[in-house]
Structure 1
Amino acid sequence: MRPDAILIAGPTASGKSALAVRLASHFDGAVLNTDALQVYDGLRILTARPRESEMGNVAHHLYGHVSPHKPYSVGEWRRDVEATLSALPPQTIPVFCGGTGLYFRALLMGLDDFPTVPEPIRSYWRNLGETTAVASLHAELVRRDPDAALTIRPTDRQRIVRALELIDTTTRPLAELRTNLTGGLFDPARVMAIVLVPPRNELRERIAQRFHAMLADGALDEAVEFRERFGDGAPLAEKAIGLRELLGVANGTSSLEQAAESAITRSRQYAKRQETWFRNQFGPTWSRYASPLDVPVG
């Protein structure tokens, strides 16, 4: 069966991008970014966006198209996906590639049908989100909705603010709001769904090798340029692993060796969280492979 779409998920540094190009080339497809960091402009190296030379003459969409200053929700990403799909040539198979589980969930299951947040409430919380320490914002979420606070990382400013504005709008906990879903874009029975699950030791080594390759590719200069263009307050600045560490090198507060060690450790921790999410959320319709080379083509 020719799939309606191909979905490739996996932890950071697992080889997703190269697999996406291989499958897109075989099926005459186009690659659509499914990673919440790679949507942002400004950090091609540190967010591991594919280079032009790695795209294999395959069209790539939704990479680097969002300003780092702009909060960007799953719903906005899905709307961008729908617009991209409508513009693809007929018979083109979309190949979704990335590590953001909620994006894949939006493709197959739909979105939580949250109410519209009134503009005064949205402006209040967005302004507070830009001027208040993230720890204080998370403490406020703990006070208002302890269960929701357990599901959101204390450093994830964007999701904390989103939760607070929804709670303020409805006066109800988030768990009560997550009862209705919009429809998915694809029938799970008609997609090729792949999740890469490399051995833990192998993945740890690949993460270290990739960060050192990023340094060789100019990640330090990219971090400094990003700060000059966008400042320290952009949402991406708090999420992009390696940015904070390399700016410490630029500021003279840490060595390059210390920065690399810290960034590699954070990347490994992030990969572990991704693996846990995929293991718990992706059911038997997803095919699991230890290596991208194990994935059959045709």
Structure 2
Amino acid sequence: MGPTASGKSDLAIQIAQWTVEICPFRHPRTLYRHPRESGDPEKSINDVSSIDQKTELQKSPERFPCEIVSVDSALIYRHMDIGTAKPDKTMQAAIPHHLIDIRNPNETYSAAEFRKDALAAIHSIETKQEVPLLVGGTMLYFKALLYGLSPLPTANPAVREHLQKIAESKGLDYLHEQLLQVDPETAKRVHPNDPQRIQRALEVYEITGKPMSQLCKVQEKDPFPYHAIQIALMPPDRKILHQRIKIRFEHMLKEGLIDEVKALMQRFDLHADLPSMRSVGYRQVLEYLNGKIDFETMKEKAIAATRQLAKRQLTWLRSWPDVHWFKPEDLQGIKKFCQEKIS
């Protein structure tokens, strides 16, 4: 776990290497939970140590008795590689990854679907007597997986069509006002220009007669059937994290993020309301390609949005139970902690 650009990917690789030493026998009921990105926050995102680790993995992938389950709402999308910092083919070949490239960018994927798929992936890894390593920063997915889901109703096509017609005839502002009347708590949390979340909240109210905010406070009793060792990375300094975020996005632009989004636009019917296009970086590049903002504004907005994402992730983590905090560079401390937990 950890905010974006905190060093999750390198740590996942490092733990994969450690499993040979600290798991000489199998621990089918022990899970490591970690996040993705690159190593030492003082270094650039092209950290040589990261490249060396991936090369070593490619040489001898059979040494690592673990598989990664991605807990990242952006990595589920096919063809969205650069802007999501998706693990490359070398790393995916060395360490099997689950829940990556499972949806097209014009499709949706719910927390309920994630929980079902993640539990299936963990079970599959266990049957091979290997270690599941959960890697990501989508805290809503972690919450759904570890603590169960709120008893929200499934989608109702008739209600959705009705709400869509109202949105088309009276506007999204009208729907947001309606939501403010029946569920002010959710209305204050949802942006007035977010049609998917506004209509979903109204749909839940239409079906159940209860505010979505009230239902979300109730967790179904469906406990996680494993013991999770939860590790979170805390960047030592906000300025360093912000600098990493800036360097990371500039690197994505150099790697061809704009061309990637152009290709997506040609292949799929994309618009800003799709969950995939709400991913930081993609939304801003889409605005730029649609002529709504200039290049420099796009860069500024993308970097600012990524900083806000990191802030939200840290807010989640600070109130998260049973999590153990480490600095990204404290590899020996993390290794010792893992050894103690599974010994």
Instruction: State the TM-score, normalizing by the size of structure 1.
Output: 0.84
Where 2:81 maps in the other structure, the secondary structure is coil
Match of 1:5 in 2: none
Say if 1:221 and 1:32 are closer, same or farther in 2 by CA, change over 3 A: same
Where 2:101 maps in the other structure, the secondary structure is coil
Match of 1:3 in 2: none
Where 2:132 maps in the other structure, the secondary structure is strand
Q: Which amino acid in 2 is paired with 1:48? A: A
Once the two structures are superposed, what CA deviation does each residue of 1:66-97 show, in whole Å capped at 9, x if it has no partner? Answer: 12222211001111112222332422221111
Say if 2:220 is the partner of 1:228. no
Once the two structures are superposed, what CA deviation does each residue of 1:152-189 show, in whole Å capped at 9, x if it has no partner? Answer: 344544433332211110111123323242313245xx
Q: Which amino acid in 2 is paired with 1:15? A: G
Give aligned-pair identity as a percent.
34
Q: Which amino acid in 2 is paired with 1:91? A: Q
Say if 2:247 is the partner of 1:209. yes
Q: Which amino acid in 1 is paired with 2:234? A: V
Q: Distance in 1 between matches of 2:66 and 2:173?
A: 43
Q: Distance in 1 between matches of 2:301 and 2:103?
A: 27
Match of 2:60 in 1: none
Once the two structures are superposed, what CA deviation does each residue of 1:172-210 show, in whole Å capped at 9, x if it has no partner? Answer: 1123323242313245xx221011121211110110010
Match of 2:34 in 1: none
Equivalent residue for 1:22, pick from 6, 10, 14: 14
Match of 1:4 in 2: none
Say if 1:46 and 1:170 are closer, same or farther in 2 by CA, change over 3 A: same
Where 1:235 maps in the other structure, the secondary structure is coil
Q: Which amino acid in 2 is paired with 1:69? A: N
Say if 1:131 and 1:292 are closer, same or farther in 2 by CA, change over 3 A: farther
Q: Please state how far the C-alpha of 1:252 moved relative to its aligned partner.
A: 5.3
Where 1:75 maps in the other structure, the secondary structure is helix
Q: Distance in 1 between matches of 2:169 and 2:2?
A: 34
Once the two structures are superposed, what CA deviation does each residue of 1:200-259 show, in whole Å capped at 9, x if it has no partner? Answer: 111101100100110111101001111111233361354122223324444555443332
* Structure 2: tracts of 5 or more residues without a match: 20-64
Could you tell me whether the CA contact under 8 Å between 1:196 and 1:290 is conserved in 2? yes
> What is the number of equivalent residue pairs in this alignment?
286
The correspondence of residues 103-142 of structure 1 with structure 2, limited to 5 A, is 103-125=141-163, 137-142=175-180
Equivalent residue for 1:194, pick from 210, 231, 234: 231
Say if 1:277 and 1:152 are closer, same or farther in 2 by CA, change over 3 A: farther
Equivalent residue for 1:240, pick from 279, 300, 303: 279
Say if 1:131 and 1:78 are closer, same or farther in 2 by CA, change over 3 A: farther
Say if 2:137 is the partner of 1:76. no
Match of 1:184 in 2: 223
RMSD of aligned alpha carbons: 2.7
Say if 2:288 is the partner of 1:288. no
Match of 1:159 in 2: 197
Q: Distance in 2 between matches of 1:149 and 1:176?
A: 13
Match of 2:182 in 1: 144
Q: Which amino acid in 1 is paired with 2:323? A: W
Q: Distance in 2 between matches of 1:131 and 1:230?
A: 26
Equivalent residue for 2:297, pick from 258, 263, 287: 258
Q: Please state how far the C-alpha of 1:121 moved relative to its aligned partner.
A: 2.4
Q: Distance in 2 between matches of 1:292 and 1:159?
A: 38
Q: Distance in 2 between matches of 1:96 and 1:279?
A: 19
Q: Distance in 2 between matches of 1:36 and 1:164?
A: 23
Say if 1:108 and 1:253 are closer, same or farther in 2 by CA, change over 3 A: closer
Once the two structures are superposed, what CA deviation does each residue of 1:88-136 show, in whole Å capped at 9, x if it has no partner? Answer: 2422221111111111112221111223454422554578789996655
Q: Distance in 2 between matches of 1:130 and 1:195?
A: 44
Q: Which amino acid in 2 is paired with 1:181? A: E
Q: Which amino acid in 1 is paired with 2:313? A: Q
Match of 1:38 in 2: 75
